């Protein structure tokens, strides 16, 4: 008769996960009001390995030194208050397990520092107002209503709201701002968090000023075209917002949908690269610079903007030619792929560029076939 | 081993010494290269910024061509940016059969089709995972003794970690350091090793771009590196070709040679700096390091070489 199976005849697995273990935290201390330089301080705490770095910090604060400055609230990766760097990587202290942190520690000590790119108020507390929130305010972070405002609710297509779901997952922790490599040398850059927030409204069909927003962010000399594609923000985000991907979507909308030709060469750079590949199959590097400055034409090199830029780069161009890094023939004619293959490439361009609607596949929303199959199984169960 | 070899554009354009040095090094490592000379540029993330489906179709075509190479164990590239741009497209193509078939429709007129699951490795990954560090060390004829080398990875080959398969079993973000050690060199740790060279914004914000390059080069100088090594030709453009301008942006002399990874490997395997195209660099490694008697006979003593 079918029934509950007897338990298998094996020794029960011992669960050590709740046993206390010692972890040493090396905390960066700094109080600008004292006038003393920053210094490191180590405390050894005792906690179960699955407990968080935040719990470690709070224990150190309770047991050894009440003056350790750390900001926190929910302790459940929702409020975004406890952003820090653990072993150099940005993230939420409450969302980083001690055992995981220990596995990335270089000398067996977990290093906890304040986030980067923002001034330190005290110890692990950074001034979010001075940088992060200023930048958020910069992108007009609210919906600008279309008029007339409907008497009842707005009705919007489901897909368009799904499109902005990823940006709405942001909890404003500042981890992406902390590690933005463009901001590191260029503090004026609007930055990943604020630009992801900007896409939240640019992608919202209820917003009345999408063109104005995109025009503003394209023309800003520290706007969407100053992102260097370094993926740091994607790696840093504890919520999968992928701010860099949102910046690329802003560029796609600005350059391709609204044809905004910005003063930063952003749209022209994208157009040049895309069209050079269409026309040559490979990148014709010598044409990249003049056409990005002067527009997509062989004559671009004679435009004043391109001329000035070429002049500025003369020391580099001269050395490249002298060292035979670049031959004059290659600089003039570039390199191409075989004719038949180039025709295939151009056919693919034609097929895709002539579509009325651009196809975008976002893994965050669609998931993989594997994930979806598992979800179906779980639903059936 | 036989590989479907994707050299990229820049290695055949503005950094010809890279493509050339791979041709020199490959036979010594027993790598048979079948060049994908019919494939087009990966788009370096910029085509994807313009139109995702277009980038995916162009790269799916390259993958399909690679899958047609008979007897090839995998596809190999020599450019961090190509690795990252291709990995991004491959992630979408492999994730969803419906999307893949939509993209494959564009390849059908040529009789091509991409089947999910291609293995595409940068030369760096191939060195560590396929050839193995022990084997590499056994092939060294001129160990890089006393050469202090700073690794410079390039963003596209270290982030995002999940897409690039970087985990405890595959710490690919440490491979450059491991290779330098396997070749007998000394690894120099410095702040910029995993940061951005700034190249992607050189035409949009030249000052910021060069400041990034200048800062990392300066950090390497301060850490007493003799040279840097990179698996990315685009990083090489900003770190070497643009170095005179990066010096201006950083407000200091740098004079830091930057080697392509296959060049560093080639030197240790006994090839001559000249054969590896090192005279073509803007900051000539031969002007800074005397490679003539042993691989490293001292720093700063040579007069400029040949």
The interaxial angle of helices A158-168 and A243-251, nearest 10 deg, is: 130
Nearest chain A residue (CA) to B44 = A273
DSSP letters spanning B242-301: THHHHHHHHTS-----EEEHHHHHHHHTT--TTTTTGGGSSS-HHHHB--SSSS-S-BS-
**Using a CB-CB distance cutoff of 8 angstroms, which residues of chain B are in contact with residue A85?**
none
**Using a CB-CB distance cutoff of 8 angstroms, which residues of chain B are in contact with residue A351?**
106
Q: Is the predicted pLDDT of residue B208 greater than 80, yes or no?
A: yes
**What is the pTM assigned to this prediction?**
0.93
Nearest by Cα to A364 from B47, B128, B231, B91: B91
- pLDDT tens sequence for chain A (381 residues): 344 445 445 555 566 667 999 999 999 999 999 999 999 999 999 999 999 999 999 999 999 999 999 999 999 999 999 999 999 999 999 999 999 999 999 999 999 999 999 999 999 999 999 999 999 999 999 999 988 888 898 888 888 889 899 999 999 999 999 999 999 999 999 999 999 999 999 999 999 999 999 999 999 999 999 999 999 999 999 999 999 999 999 999 999 999 999 999 999 999 999 999 999 999 998 999 999 999 999 999 899 999 999 999 898 888 888 888 888 887 888 888 999 999 999 999 999 999 999 999 989 888 888 888 877 777 666
Nearest by Cα to B199 from B209, B189, B184, B187: B209
**Using a CB-CB distance cutoff of 8 angstroms, which residues of chain B are in contact with residue A315?**
244-245
Contact B51 A252 (CB under 8 A): yes
Question: Which of B12, B43, B107 has the CB atom closest to A335's CB atom?
Answer: B12
Distance separating alpha carbons of residues B164 and A235, to the nearest angstrom = 12
**Using a CB-CB distance cutoff of 8 angstroms, which residues of chain A are in contact with residue B43?**
273-274, 277
| Chain-centroid distance, C-alpha A59 | 32
Q: In a 10 Å sphere around its CB, with 0-12 CB exposed, 13-18 middle and 19+ buried, how is residue A221 labelled? A: middle
Please determine, for the modelled complex, whether the ipTM score is greater than 0.95. Answer: no
Classified as helix, coil or strand, A12 is: coil
What's the pLDDT tens digit per position in B136-167? 999 999 999 889 999 999 999 999 999 999 99
The interaxial angle of helices B175-182 and B261-268, nearest 10 deg, is: 20
Looking at residue A331, what is its pLDDT? 81
Contact B281 A235 (CB under 8 A): no
Where does chain A have alpha helices with state H?
53-63, 98-103, 134-138, 158-168, 175-179, 181-185, 192-202, 210-219, 232-236, 243-251, 266-280, 285-294, 304-312, 314-322, 328-333, 339-353, 363-366, 369-380
Chain B: nearest CA to A59, how far in angstroms? 29
**Residue with the two structure tokens 């034409």:** A297
Answer whether A94's CB lies under 8 Å from A72's CB: yes
Please list the helix, strand and coil fractions of chain B in percent, rounded to the nearest 5, in that order.
50, 10, 40
Contact A235 B215 (CB under 8 A): no
Distance separating alpha carbons of residues A360 and B59, to the nearest angstrom = 15
């Amino acid at each position: 008769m079918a029934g509950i199976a007897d338990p298998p005849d094996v020794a029960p697995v011992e669960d050590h996960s709740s046993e206390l273990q010692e972890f040493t935290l090396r905390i960066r201390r700094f109080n600008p009001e004292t006038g003393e330089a920053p210094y490191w301080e180590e405390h050894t705490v005792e906690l179960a390995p699955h407990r968080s770095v935040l719990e470690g910090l709070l224990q150190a604060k309770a047991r050894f030194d009440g003056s350790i400055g750390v900001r926190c609230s929910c302790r459940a990766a929702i409020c975004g208050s406890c952003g820090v760097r653990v072993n150099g990587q940005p993230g939420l202290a409450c969302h980083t397990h001690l055992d995981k942190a220990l596995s990335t520690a270089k000398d067996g000590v977990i290093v906890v520092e304040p986030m980067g790119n923002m001034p330190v108020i005290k110890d692990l507390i950074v001034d979010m107002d001075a940088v992060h929130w200023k930048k958020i305010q910069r992108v007009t972070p609210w919906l600008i209503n279309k008029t007339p405002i409907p008497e009842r609710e707005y009705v919007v297509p489901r897909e368009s709201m799904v499109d902005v779901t990823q940006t709405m997952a942001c909890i404003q922790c500042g981890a992406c701002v902390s590690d933005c490599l463009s901001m590191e040398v260029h503090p004026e850059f609007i930055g990943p968090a604020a630009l992801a927030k900007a896409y939240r409204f640019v992608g919202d069909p209820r917003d009345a000023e999408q063109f104005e927003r995109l025009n503003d962010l394209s023309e800003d000399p520290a706007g969407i075209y100053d992102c260097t594609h370094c993926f740091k923000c994607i790696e840093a985000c504890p919520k999968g917002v992928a701010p860099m991907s949102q910046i690329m979507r802003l560029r796609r909308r600005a350059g391709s949908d609204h044809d905004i030709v910005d003063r930063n060469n952003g749209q022209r750079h994208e157009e040049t690269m895309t069209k050079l590949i269409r026309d040559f199959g490979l990148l014709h590097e010598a044409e990249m610079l003049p056409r990005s400055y002067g527009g997509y034409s062989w004559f671009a090199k004679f435009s004043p903007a391109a001329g000035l830029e070429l002049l500025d780069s003369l020391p580099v161009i001269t050395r490249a030619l002298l060292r035979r890094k670049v031959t004059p023939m290659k600089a003039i004619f570039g390199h191409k792929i075989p004719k038949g293959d180039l025709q295939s490439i151009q056919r693919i361009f034609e097929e895709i560029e002539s579509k009325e609607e651009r196809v975008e596949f976002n893994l965050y929303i669609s998931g993989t076939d594997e994930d979806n199959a598992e979800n179906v199984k779980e639903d059936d169960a | 081993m036989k590989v479907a070899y994707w050299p990229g554009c820049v290695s055949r354009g503005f950094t010809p010494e890279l493509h050339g040095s791979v041709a020199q090094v490959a036979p010594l490592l027993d790598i048979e290269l079948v060049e994908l000379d019919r494939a087009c540029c990966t788009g370096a993330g910029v085509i994807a910024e313009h139109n995702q489906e277009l980038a995916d179709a162009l790269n799916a075509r390259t993958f399909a061509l690679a899958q047609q190479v008979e007897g090839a164990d995998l596809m190999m590239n020599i450019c961090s940016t190509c690795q990252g741009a291709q990995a991004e497209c491959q992630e979408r193509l492999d994730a969803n059969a419906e999307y893949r078939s939509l993209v494959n429709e564009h390849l059908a007129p040529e009789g091509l089709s991409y089947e999910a699951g291609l293995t595409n490795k940068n030369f760096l990954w191939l060195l560590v995972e396929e050839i193995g560090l022990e084997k590499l060390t056994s092939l060294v004829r001129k160990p890089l003794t006393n050469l202090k080398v700073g690794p410079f990875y390039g963003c596209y080959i270290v982030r995002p970690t999940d897409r690039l398969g970087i985990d405890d079993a595959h710490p690919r973000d440490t491979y450059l350091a491991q290779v330098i050690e396997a070749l007998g060199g000394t690894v120099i740790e410095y702040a910029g090793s995993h940061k951005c060279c700034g190249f992607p914004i050189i035409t949009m914000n030249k000052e910021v771009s060069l400041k990034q390059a200048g800062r990392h080069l300066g950090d390497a100088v301060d850490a007493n590196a003799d040279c840097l090594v990179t698996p990315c030709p685009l990083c090489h453009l900003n770190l070497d070709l643009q170095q005179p301008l990066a010096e201006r942006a950083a407000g200091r002399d740098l004079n830091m040679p930057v080697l392509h990874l296959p060049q560093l490997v080639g030197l240790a395997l006994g090839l001559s700096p000249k054969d590896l195209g090192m005279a073509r660099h803007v900051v000539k490694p031969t002007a800074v390091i005397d490679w003539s008697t042993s691989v490293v006979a001292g720093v700063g003593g040579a007069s400029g070489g040949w």
